[in-house]
């Protein structure tokens, strides 16, 4: 046990130096308005943190945080890189594999009322030769949150808000002025509640005033990342011209005070910008809103836009840009919704959507084409799922360096790459999500997020494949629908190639931690996007189209405006198929192994004539994997079948229709396997 001993003055001073150096990094409070002293929180009961100096990796931080679902972590603080993050045995025993980030949260934000003004702050550059960058907008905001108490002993609210935004006041109509403080480097506001807070089920409001200069969110990393394009001598992209200014404020920026975890809520936003800017945002636009483009180039004064989200959203976003007037860009699209299944669907359903396309000046002539494409994609997705989640959708075409985009609820931003100088080439064909045979891929993927990622969210970062994998697969389905089986096969082949290349980097379920240590974003896209989509395709071939799409509709209906986990997807498909799928998802989502399969065939004479005996053998871990076999006969006739390979040996006998010339395996690239 511990024993008391005399304090050595030198050791005490050294301990104080260490505490003063490291305590602010993890527990420091920003109380500059109240005190000049350095203040810090004390760790909670059972919490532990240690900074370790290593010769090879510098300073590493080990932490155990009892209030976190994954309570054990090892990370590199300087570069903000997580090396390991997992749940202890004690935590796993309590919460299980499929936990929600909302577990243990004792409050729920029901509604937001946001009034905010945005003043673009111009450009900055690191040096005279450096590429100029937008500094962001000075935001002045007031947000009122309607809060419901969902758990006992609620003593504080931890809200997300960018550290660059200064909080001026926090008040409540029911509770009066509230004490608040901020932790350094955490992008949060901790609001202290008075004793005797309303009981479980009671509701109250909190209103926060704030302001500050905040940089906008970058979208390029969603797709092509930071690699693979030509740079000039100072490291700036060698681009032609200057694009129209745009500012995206969305989920990763924390531009308004919101719940500590993303959750569904309604909202009303009143957003004010200079008169030469327009706003596209989450929600239905008010009929009184001005046009998003400035009439007659009028740059004087300000303009205010109101957006209302009656259908709940996980987070709120807005796009502020210099838009141009366009024609043929708006209308009501009547959707070919599939028949409703017997499952209950949460929220209001729609059979039409009000669609609009907005654009910067350089790409205004593309609005008509994008309107037609978006309308066709929305109609196709609605026919598959049986519903469209939001009554309005705006597609914004904006100038950017790289292709890609972002799709919050109710709208999407689609990058329109700027042209390059003569003689300069920039290729992103070496990226997992660049499909040269499918030019509308980005658009189809972003529109799919209105269903997958927005209408149906995910419980924690492990489950992001439910958003990206489904959006990726729906984009591939649209390629099959619009462009035919050859383009669909090309897309699957590329997804398969990248999935096989990077599968050894970790399981799909590792989520956004994939590729983080190596700073290689292509690993994340190869596995969460492409392998996730390939797993869904293999499941479709195992279950058949009718059962698979019935499972998709059941999953959507049951989880609409809720946060889902892989267990919810499994239950939906098991309910429709009548069979267990746990082992299938364990192998393909929770593990990083791949099947080791050999194939042989022989010709035998049977009672009905000659037969081809197709034999698959698995070594090591056993997978359930559907593999296409193509029989080619003389005279160019061919026969294709899908063999559900499972167990150590799978044999299928196929009556021959003629003289067999050869046999091809996995010709369509539809299975994640290299067959020997």
Q: What's the pLDDT score for residue 28? A: 58
Contacts of 462 (CB under 8 A, 6+ apart): 509, 510, 511
Q: Measure CA 274 to chain center.
A: 31
| Residue 308 in tokens | 């209302």
Confidence of residue 625 (pLDDT cuts 50, 70, 90): very high
131-155 residue pLDDT tens: 677 889 999 999 999 999 999 889 9
Q: Flag whether pLDDT at 220 surpasses 80.
A: no
pLDDT at 224: 43
Q: Which helix (H) or strand (E) holds 382?
A: helix 367-385
Quick one: pLDDT at residue 328?
78
pLDDT for res 82: 83
Instruction: Compute the average pLDDT of residues 12-28.
Output: 69
Lowest mean pLDDT among 18-27, 170-179, 610-619: 18-27
pLDDT in tens, 336-349: 765 555 566 777 88
pLDDT in tens, 56-70: 878 888 888 877 888
The count of other CB atoms within 10 Å of the CB of residue 283 is 26
Coil vs helix vs strand at 52: strand
pLDDT in the model for residue 538: 98
Instruction: List pLDDT tens digits, range 509-521.
Output: 999 999 888 888 8
- Is the pLDDT score of 674 beyond 60? yes
pLDDT at 330 over 80: yes
What does the pLDDT average to over 225-246? 49
Distance CA 68, CA 101 (A): 9
pLDDT score at 96: 87
Mean pLDDT of all residues in 235-263: 80
**What digits encode the pLDDT tens for the residues 477-499?**
999 999 999 999 999 999 999 99
Q: Which two tokens stand for residue 472?
A: 């990726």
The stretch 636-661 carries a mean pLDDT of 94
Q: How far apart, in whole angstroms, are the C-alpha atoms of residue 477 and residue 488?
A: 7
The side-by-side arrangement of strands in the sheet containing 638-645 is 638-645, 625-633, 660-665
**pTM across the whole model:** 0.90
Confidence grade of residue 424 (pLDDT, cut at 50, 70, 90): low
Where does the pLDDT of residue 434 fall: very low under 50, low under 70, confident under 90, or very high at 90 and above? confident
Q: What is the pLDDT of residue 227?
A: 39
CA nearest neighbour of 151 among 207, 202, 110, 95: 202
Q: How would you label 35-72 residue by residue, b for 16+ Cβ within 10 Å and e otherwise?
A: eeeeebeebeeebebeeeeeeeeeebbebbbeebbbbb
> What distance in Å separates the CA atoms of residue 216 and residue 416, rounded to the nearest whole number?
18
* DSSP assignment string, 408-476: -TTEEEEEEEPPPPTT-----TTSTT--TT-TTHHHHHHHHTTTBTTTEEESSGGGGHHHHHHHHHHHH
pLDDT at 342: 59
Answer yes or no: is pLDDT of 37 > 60.
no
Task: Point out which residues pair with 145 in neighbouring strands.
Answer: 112, 206
pLDDT tens per residue across span 355-386 = 999 999 999 999 999 999 999 999 999 999 99
The structure tokens 């100029």 sit at: 132
Say how far apart CA 629 and CA 650 lie, in whole Å.
13
φ, ψ of residue 631 in degrees (nearest 5)? -95, 125
Spatial strand order in the sheet of 674-675? 649-655, 609-619, 596-606, 674-675
Question: In the predicted model, is pLDDT for residue 116 greater than 90?
Answer: yes
Q: What is the mean pLDDT of residues 568-580?
A: 98
What is the per-residue pLDDT for 236? Answer: 39
Share above pLDDT 70 across residues of the chain, in percent, rounded to a whole number: 88
Mean predicted confidence (pLDDT) in 439-468: 96
Q: Are 211 and 165 in contact (CB under 8 A)?
A: yes
What residue ranges define each of the domains in the chain, with the CATH number in brackets? 9-95 (no CATH), 107-428 (2.60.40.1730), 456-589 (1.10.390.10), 596-675 (2.60.40)
Tokens linked to 96: 């299980």
Residue 237 pLDDT: 43
> Average pLDDT of the chain?
88
Whether residue 167 is predicted with pLDDT greater than 50 in this model: the reply is yes
């Amino acid at each position: 046990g511990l024993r008391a001993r005399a304090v050595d003055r030198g050791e005490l001073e050294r301990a104080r130096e260490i505490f003063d150096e490291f305590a602010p990094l993890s527990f420091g409070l920003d109380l500059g308005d109240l005190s000049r002293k350095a203040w810090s929180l004390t760790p909670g009961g059972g919490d532990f943190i240690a900074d370790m100096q290593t010769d090879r990796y510098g300073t590493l931080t080990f932490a155990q945080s009892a209030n976190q679902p994954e309570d054990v972590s090892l990370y590199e603080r300087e570069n903000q890189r997580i090396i390991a993050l997992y749940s202890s045995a004690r935590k796993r025993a309590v919460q299980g594999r499929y936990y929600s980030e909302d577990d243990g949260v004792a409050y729920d934000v029901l509604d937001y009322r946001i009034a905010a003004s945005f003043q673009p702050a111009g450009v900055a550059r690191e040096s005279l030769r450096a590429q100029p960058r937008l500094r962001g907008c000075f935001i002045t905001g007031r947000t009122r949150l309607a809060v419901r108490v969902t758990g006992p002993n609620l003593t504080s609210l931890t809200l997300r808000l960018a550290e660059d935004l200064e909080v001026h006041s926090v008040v409540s109509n029911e509770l009066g002025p509230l004490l608040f403080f901020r932790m350094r480097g955490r992008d949060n506001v901790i609001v202290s509640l008075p004793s005797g807070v309303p009981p479980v089920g009671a509701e109250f409001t909190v209103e926060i005033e704030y302001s500050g200069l905040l940089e906008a969110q970058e979208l390029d990393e969603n797709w092509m990342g930071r690699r693979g394009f030509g740079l000039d001598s100072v490291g700036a992209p060698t681009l032609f011209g200057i694009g129209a200014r745009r500012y995206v404020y969305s989920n990763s920026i924390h531009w308004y005070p919101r719940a500590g975890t993303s959750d569904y809520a309604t909202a009303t936003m009143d957003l004010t910008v200079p008169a030469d800017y327009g706003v596209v945002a989450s929600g239905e636009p008010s009929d009184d809103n001005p046009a998003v483009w400035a009439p007659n180039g009028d740059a004087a004064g300000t303009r205010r836009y109101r957006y209302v989200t009656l259908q709940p959203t996980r987070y709120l976003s807005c796009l502020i840009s210099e838009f141009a007037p366009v024609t043929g860009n708006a209308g009501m699209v009547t959707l070919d919704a599939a028949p409703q299944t017997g499952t209950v669907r949460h929220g209001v359903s729609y059979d039409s959507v009000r669609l609009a396309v907005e654009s910067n000046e350089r790409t205004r002539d593309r609005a008509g084409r994008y309107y037609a494409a978006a309308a066709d994609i929305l109609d196709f997705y609605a026919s598959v799922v049986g519903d469209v989640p939001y009554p309005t959708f705006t597609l914004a075409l904006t100038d950017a360096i790289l292709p890609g985009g972002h799709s919050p609820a109710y709208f999407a931003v689609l990058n329109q790459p700027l042209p390059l100088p003569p003689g300069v080439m920039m290729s992103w064909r070496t990226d997992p999500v660049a499909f040269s045979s499918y030019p509308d891929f980005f658009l189809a993927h972003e529109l799919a997020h209105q269903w997958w990622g927005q209408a149906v969210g995910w419980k924690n970062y492990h489950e992001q494949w439910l958003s990206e994998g489904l959006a990726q697969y729906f984009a591939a389905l649209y390629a099959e629908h619009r462009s035919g089986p050859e383009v669909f096969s090309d897309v699957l082949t590329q997804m398969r190639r990248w999935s096989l290349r990077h599968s050894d980097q970790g399981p799909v379920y590792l989520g956004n931690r994939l590729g983080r240590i190596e700073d290689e974003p292509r690993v994340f896209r190869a596995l969460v996007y492409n392998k996730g989509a390939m797993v869904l395709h293999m499941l479709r071939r195992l279950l058949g189209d009718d059962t698979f799409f019935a499972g998709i509709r059941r999953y959507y209906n049951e989880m609409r405006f809720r946060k889902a986990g892989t267990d919810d997807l499994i239950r939906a498909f098991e309910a429709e198929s009548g069979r267990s799928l746990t082992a299938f998802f364990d192998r393909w989502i929770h593990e990083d192994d791949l099947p080791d399969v050999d194939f042989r065939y022989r010709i035998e004479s049977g009672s009905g004539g000659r037969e081809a005996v197709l034999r698959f053998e698995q070594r090591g871990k056993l997978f359930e994997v559907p593999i296409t076999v193509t029989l080619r006969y003389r005279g160019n006739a061919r026969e294709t079948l899908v063999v559900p390979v499972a167990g150590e040996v799978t044999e299928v006998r196929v009556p021959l229709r003629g003289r067999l010339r050869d046999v091809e395996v996995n010709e369509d690239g539809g299975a994640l396997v290299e067959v020997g």
